[in-house]
């Protein structure tokens, strides 16, 4: 099953998004990677690398990032994993909506490309009727 990693500057935000997505798609593997080791705001490429490794079962890992340096840190984590054989990609998607859509799609056994597509489609979901 495609794994999901949620990267945020805030540990609580990453954990909350992972919790919500997990409630919607219980069988999906969702690993939060938020904040710094000391609990402060920030991102850590090594922490993200470890989350990717934990989320990986061989079918790939989709990464959702909140903004700015979270994206740069996730790219650095991917560089750390370059020779690992782990397939992982950053989705251009909103963290919360993208995580839910990705998790639901991943829970069906969909391949990584479909999970990324589902996450990215969440960008266009209107909140107005």
Block means of pLDDT (10 residues each) for the chain, length 129 residues? 97 97 92 95 97 96 95 98 96 97 96 97 84
| Residue of 3, 5, 9, 120 with catalytic role | 9
CA–CA dist 39, 31 (Å, integer): 17
Within a domain: residue 83? yes
9 included as an active-site residue: yes
Within a domain: residue 46? yes
Within a domain: residue 65? yes
How many structural domains is the chain composed of? 1
Within a domain: residue 115? yes
Segments forming the whole domain that contains residue 119: 3-124
Position 51 scores a pLDDT of: 98
Sheet of 61-65, strand order: 30-34, 3-8, 61-65, 88-90
Q: How far apart, in Å, are the Cα atoms of 106 and each of 16, 19, 71?
A: 18, 15, 22
Position 105 scores a pLDDT of: 97
Domain with 47 in it: what CATH number? 3.40.50.510
- pTM to 2 decimal places: 0.95
Within a domain: residue 129? no
């Amino acid at each position: 099953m495609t794994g999901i990693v949620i990267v945020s500057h805030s540990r609580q935000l990453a954990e909350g998004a992972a919790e919500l997505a997990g409630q919607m798609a219980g069988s999906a593997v969702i690993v939060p990677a938020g904040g710094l080791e000391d609990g402060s705001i920030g991102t850590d490429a090594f922490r993200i690398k470890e989350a990717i490794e934990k989320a990986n079962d061989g079918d790939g890992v989709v990464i959702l990032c909140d903004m700015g340096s979270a994206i740069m840190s996730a790219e650095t984590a991917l560089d750390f994993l370059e020779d690992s054989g782990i397939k992982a990609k950053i989705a251009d998607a909103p963290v919360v909506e993208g995580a839910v859509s990705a998790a639901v799609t991943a829970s069906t056994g969909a391949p990584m490309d479909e999970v990324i597509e589902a996450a990215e489609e969440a960008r266009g979901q209107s909140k107005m009727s």
